Structure 1
């Protein structure tokens, strides 16, 4: 990790605007996970503990936000603006980064009806970290990437560094290549949960030939394949690496946690001493075990499953 960037204008004394000031734990640990359910099929499971990178910006949140924070500092921006739903882990991580680095943060939240309700614990945490919350009706929110819409936000709030929903852009993809580089030669298959596709796009690009990246979609629909390819073209100019998205294990869609998934997560946590975040990470492990039991991986396969932390 590079040295912290010089303090940006408006940064409180003693704070630096560079992401290095957050003191991440890199590379994240890679730990064996003895599990007879995989071993009986000749598969060795490893846990890539990206959830331990930083207590408030764990996993892919660190890897995606760090290059965006660096870009904001280099361009002299002291405000971050981003988007998310009412329970967005990405909003929480952005708000935390702003508090830790002395940057202003604005969160554009999907659902104007939320403005008239008490804040849920996730948005409460964002507000406590100093994030200004702006609520949009769902029709307006769908236009969030339109140039004229973004121009209106800049007119309303002044200059800011824009971070897309979920944090996935070309900066983030380059940041996530570090995850692939840390796993070069360490596993045959590397798996991640997929919400917006940025982590998978970068991971696959960072691996070497002979390694595969497998993303487990946590939302309904097959749009993620196109998103991952779009992000790779935006970041690198072409598709990179051997990757695919598995769509069968979203368990009903985003934020859906049926009893079978909850029971699986509790059992896995008891076996391995790790807490599985239910909206993303538990779905990946649920799908990974199902594929293993279906015989999707040849005997002798080594799989590194990335614990991305929340979101």
Structure 2
């Protein structure tokens, strides 16, 4: 095995003719990691243009987006408000590594019931938030909007034009949309959703016009925030072999799927594959907490 000096780390599979590269977007920033850095870039600039000094957004107990917004607020001088799904979390902040760190970075929380959270995009709900918190800049859950997609269009560069396949994990669809928009027609973009169901195709189609993409929906491990011993074992073995950490919600599932597809000869001979490491590593601590409570195998790295 050998690695390039750039952010594209080359892994050569000894038993195949497939070459796999990893673009380490997780190394962009210690807290505003990977695709969150890309998604927030132009949104923060727009908030400044609109003279908004407060960012408000939404997320769950271990949300990468929540922590990234809190960190961005601290670094770029914004107040931050996180509307958090689950009223029971009010008393669990100290036990939750994501929420605790976000609070330390200055984020104010508004905990709501799961029923109310489902109404978060309605005018009534948003007006209630405006009455309570004033004139804020609204960031959607997961951060996906047109400006986020614009930021994600900068993930690929001219040197990436030589790849046949571009692979990335999919949450709300913003990252893959940006990648699709800046990919070459000769390239195939593969998305690996962390969620069950095929509804993401419609969401992604709102932001793209190219047709050179496909969602691989067989590696969600029964849905968002769900894992298995097989997946955790894979993540640990991958780290031990390549010294590259993966998170259990997004990049771990994606990489498991890619390895499985390689074994099944999905990719044609001599294919060059670029994998986007979108970060999300902060979620490892929260997942390990849940696994520990269930007395199950834990992820052995916390990078």
Q: For the superposition of Structure 1 and Structure 2, which TM-score range results when normalised by the shorter chain?
A: 0.7 to 0.9
Q: Deviations over 1:128-181 (max 9, x none)?
A: 000001111111101111123212211221111111111111110011011134
C-alpha distance in 1, partners of 2:153/2:92?
40
Matches of 2:158 and 2:116 in 1, distance apart? 40
Aligned twin of 2:193: 217
The equivalences for 1:140-179 within 5 A come to 140-179=116-155
Instruction: Please give the per-residue CA displacement for 1:262-296, whole angstroms capped at 9, x wherever unaligned.
Output: 11111111111111111111100000111111221
Distance in 2 (alpha carbons) for counterparts of 1:35 and 1:267: 15
Which of residues 253, 258, 266 in structure 2 aligns to 1:283? Answer: 253
- The two structures have a TM-score, normalised by structure 1, of 0.85
User: Counterpart of 1:261?
Assistant: 231
2:33 is equivalent to residue 63 of structure 1: no
* Cα distance, 1:116 vs structure 2: 3.5
**Equivalent residues of 2:153, 2:178 under 8 A apart:** yes
TM-score when normalising by structure 2: 0.87
Counterpart CA distance in 2 for 1:64 and 1:183 is 22
Native 8 Å contact 2:31 2:71 kept in 1:
yes
Tell me the CA shift for residue 60 of structure 1. Answer: 0.2
Query: Which of 28, 47, 50 is 2:25 aligned to?
Result: 50
Contact 2:85 2:111 in 1 (8 A): yes
Measured in 2, the distance between the counterparts of 1:274 and 1:63 equals: 21
Q: CA RMSD in A?
A: 1.4
Equivalent in the alignment of 1:92: 67
CA distance in 2: counterparts of 1:118 and 1:61, whole angstroms: 22
Task: Provide the aligned length of Structure 1 versus Structure 2.
Answer: 275
**Which deviates further from its counterpart, 100-109 or 240-249?**
240-249
Distance 1:76 1:109, change over 3 A: same
The ranges of structure 1 where at least 4 consecutive aligned residues each deviate by more than 6 angstroms after the TM superposition are none
Is the 8 Å Cα contact of residues 12 and 18 (structure 2) preserved in structure 1? no
Please, which runs of 5 or more residues in structure 2 have no aligned partner? 1-5, 282-303
Select between 176-185 and 243-252 the one with higher mean Cα deviation.
Answer: 176-185
> Structure 2 CA distance, aligned partners of 1:265 and 1:182?
30
Offset, 1:241:
4.8
How far 1:222 sits from its partner (Å)? 1.3
